[in-house]
Amino acid sequence: MRDRKSDAGGAASGRRARGELESGVLGALWSADEPLTAGQVLERLPGDLAYTTVLTILSRLHDKGMVVRHPAGRGYAFAPVRDEASETAVRMHSLLERGSDREAVLARFVSELSQEDEQLLQRLLGDQDAGRGDDGQ
């Protein structure tokens, strides 16, 4: 019987962590100045992946609405729908929506920020308040 704990990080079995391939493919697309074909994405990824694996990940990302595809020769070139910061913000918001106690989640999040990140967040919130004006809008 296999010890599931040894496979938790994926290292012992050689398997990647859940979502690691999607993150790598998105990272390659975010770093590009133009849409990329599956072959171009494959060239930018570390390791020994199969072309079909990259094509499958791109198809899944397209099905999820995370990338768009444009005809390119006999195939497609892919581009992300959102930039990296926007995608991360969408994920963070989605996680916050799933929680039952928003205040507790936000309090824990803020309490675990580095001092630099906390100062940045305070500055950004101050900028938001200043942009709303006196009428709160």
Looking at residue 19, its pLDDT comes to: 85
Cβ contact 51:38 at 8 Å: yes
Helix (H) or strand (E) holding 26: helix 20-30
Q: Which residue is listed with tokens 């998105």?
A: 26
Looking at residue 114, its pLDDT comes to: 96
Going by DSSP bridges, is the β-strand pair 75-80/67-72 parallel, antiparallel, or unpaired?
Answer: antiparallel
Confidence of residue 118 (pLDDT cuts 50, 70, 90): very high
The model scores a pTM over 0.75: no
Distance separating alpha carbons of residues 87 and 99, to the nearest angstrom = 19
Rounded to 5°, the CA angle 59-91-53 comes to 25
Q: Which residue is listed with tokens 């499958």?
A: 56
